[in-house]
Amino acid sequence: MENNLNNTTWTDICTLSDLTPNAGVCALFNKQQVAIFLCKQTDNVYAVANFDPFGEANVLSRGLIGSTEDITYVASPLYKQRFNLSTGECLDSSEHRLKTFNVRIESNQVQLKEAS
Protein backbone atom coordinates (compact mmCIF):
# COMPACT_ATOMS: atom_id res chain seq x y z
CA MET A 1 0.00 0.00 0.00
CA GLU A 2 1.45 3.37 -0.92
CA ASN A 3 1.62 6.10 1.68
CA ASN A 4 1.78 8.81 -0.97
CA LEU A 5 2.42 9.07 -4.68
CA ASN A 6 5.62 11.10 -4.44
CA ASN A 7 9.06 9.58 -3.92
CA THR A 8 9.72 11.21 -0.54
CA THR A 9 7.48 8.87 1.43
CA TRP A 10 7.83 5.28 2.51
CA THR A 11 5.81 2.55 0.80
CA ASP A 12 4.70 -0.69 2.48
CA ILE A 13 5.96 -3.64 0.42
CA CYS A 14 5.44 -6.75 2.57
CA THR A 15 5.68 -7.95 6.14
CA LEU A 16 9.02 -8.95 7.60
CA SER A 17 7.69 -12.50 7.98
CA ASP A 18 7.17 -12.64 4.19
CA LEU A 19 10.96 -12.66 3.80
CA THR A 20 13.00 -15.84 4.08
CA PRO A 21 16.47 -15.36 5.59
CA ASN A 22 19.24 -15.44 2.97
CA ALA A 23 16.79 -15.62 0.07
CA GLY A 24 15.37 -12.94 -2.18
CA VAL A 25 11.88 -11.92 -3.15
CA CYS A 26 10.79 -9.71 -6.02
CA ALA A 27 8.37 -6.83 -5.51
CA LEU A 28 6.96 -4.12 -7.74
CA PHE A 29 7.79 -0.64 -6.44
CA ASN A 30 7.12 2.54 -8.43
CA LYS A 31 6.71 0.48 -11.63
CA GLN A 32 10.09 -1.23 -11.25
CA GLN A 33 11.08 -4.69 -10.08
CA VAL A 34 13.01 -4.68 -6.82
CA ALA A 35 14.90 -7.60 -5.27
CA ILE A 36 14.56 -7.63 -1.47
CA PHE A 37 16.84 -9.70 0.78
CA LEU A 38 16.88 -10.47 4.50
CA CYS A 39 20.46 -11.27 5.49
CA LYS A 40 20.51 -13.71 8.41
CA GLN A 41 24.10 -12.89 9.46
CA THR A 42 23.51 -9.15 9.84
CA ASP A 43 19.71 -9.05 10.32
CA ASN A 44 19.64 -6.32 7.66
CA VAL A 45 17.10 -6.00 4.87
CA TYR A 46 18.43 -4.83 1.51
CA ALA A 47 16.66 -3.72 -1.67
CA VAL A 48 18.26 -3.42 -5.11
CA ALA A 49 17.03 -3.38 -8.69
CA ASN A 50 16.06 -6.88 -9.79
CA PHE A 51 17.56 -6.32 -13.28
CA ASP A 52 20.88 -8.07 -13.94
CA PRO A 53 22.81 -5.75 -16.30
CA PHE A 54 25.05 -8.60 -17.51
CA GLY A 55 22.35 -11.16 -18.25
CA GLU A 56 19.83 -8.44 -19.16
CA ALA A 57 17.05 -10.15 -17.21
CA ASN A 58 15.07 -9.52 -14.02
CA VAL A 59 16.59 -12.34 -11.97
CA LEU A 60 18.64 -10.96 -9.07
CA SER A 61 15.97 -11.87 -6.50
CA ARG A 62 16.93 -15.48 -7.30
CA GLY A 63 20.62 -14.85 -6.62
CA LEU A 64 22.70 -16.17 -3.74
CA ILE A 65 23.68 -14.02 -0.77
CA GLY A 66 27.29 -14.09 0.38
CA SER A 67 29.82 -11.91 2.14
CA THR A 68 33.48 -11.01 1.89
CA GLU A 69 35.53 -8.45 3.81
CA ASP A 70 32.48 -6.96 5.57
CA ILE A 71 30.57 -6.64 2.27
CA THR A 72 27.25 -8.41 1.89
CA TYR A 73 26.51 -9.18 -1.75
CA VAL A 74 24.14 -10.99 -4.07
CA ALA A 75 25.60 -13.17 -6.82
CA SER A 76 23.63 -13.20 -10.05
CA PRO A 77 22.07 -16.58 -10.82
CA LEU A 78 23.05 -16.17 -14.48
CA TYR A 79 26.73 -15.22 -14.78
CA LYS A 80 27.61 -15.02 -11.07
CA GLN A 81 28.68 -11.36 -10.91
CA ARG A 82 28.53 -10.12 -7.31
CA PHE A 83 26.78 -6.89 -6.35
CA ASN A 84 27.23 -5.09 -3.03
CA LEU A 85 23.76 -5.01 -1.46
CA SER A 86 24.45 -1.71 0.34
CA THR A 87 25.83 0.29 -2.57
CA GLY A 88 24.80 -1.64 -5.70
CA GLU A 89 28.42 -1.65 -6.85
CA CYS A 90 29.52 -4.66 -8.92
CA LEU A 91 32.44 -6.32 -7.15
CA ASP A 92 33.63 -7.97 -10.36
CA SER A 93 33.38 -5.08 -12.83
CA SER A 94 33.39 -1.33 -12.32
CA GLU A 95 31.23 -0.89 -15.43
CA HIS A 96 27.92 -1.71 -13.75
CA ARG A 97 26.08 -0.72 -10.61
CA LEU A 98 22.60 -1.62 -9.38
CA LYS A 99 20.09 0.93 -8.24
CA THR A 100 19.58 0.68 -4.47
CA PHE A 101 16.58 1.61 -2.36
CA ASN A 102 16.21 2.84 1.20
CA VAL A 103 14.68 0.17 3.44
CA ARG A 104 13.18 0.31 6.91
CA ILE A 105 10.99 -1.87 9.11
CA GLU A 106 8.00 -0.18 10.75
CA SER A 107 5.44 -2.20 12.73
CA ASN A 108 6.66 -5.41 11.05
CA GLN A 109 6.19 -3.84 7.59
CA VAL A 110 9.10 -3.72 5.14
CA GLN A 111 8.99 -0.26 3.62
CA LEU A 112 10.90 1.17 0.66
CA LYS A 113 11.74 4.67 -0.46
CA GLU A 114 13.68 5.89 -3.49
CA ALA A 115 17.32 6.52 -2.62
CA SER A 116 18.30 10.16 -2.90
Domain 11-114: which CATH number of 3.20.20.300, 3.40.50.300, 3.30.565.10, 2.102.10.10: 2.102.10.10
- The full DSSP string for 34-79 is EEEEEETTTTEEEEEESEETTTTEE-GGGSEEEEETTEEEEE-TTT
pTM, to two decimals: 0.90
DSSP assigned state of 94: T
Residue 22 DSSP symbol: T
Over residues 76-92, the pLDDT tens digits come to 999 999 999 999 999 99
Give the domain ranges of the chain: 11-114
**Rounded Cα–Cα distance for residues 80 and 22 (Å):** 16
d(CA 70, CA 36): 19
pLDDT tens, residue by residue, 2-15: 444 455 799 999 99
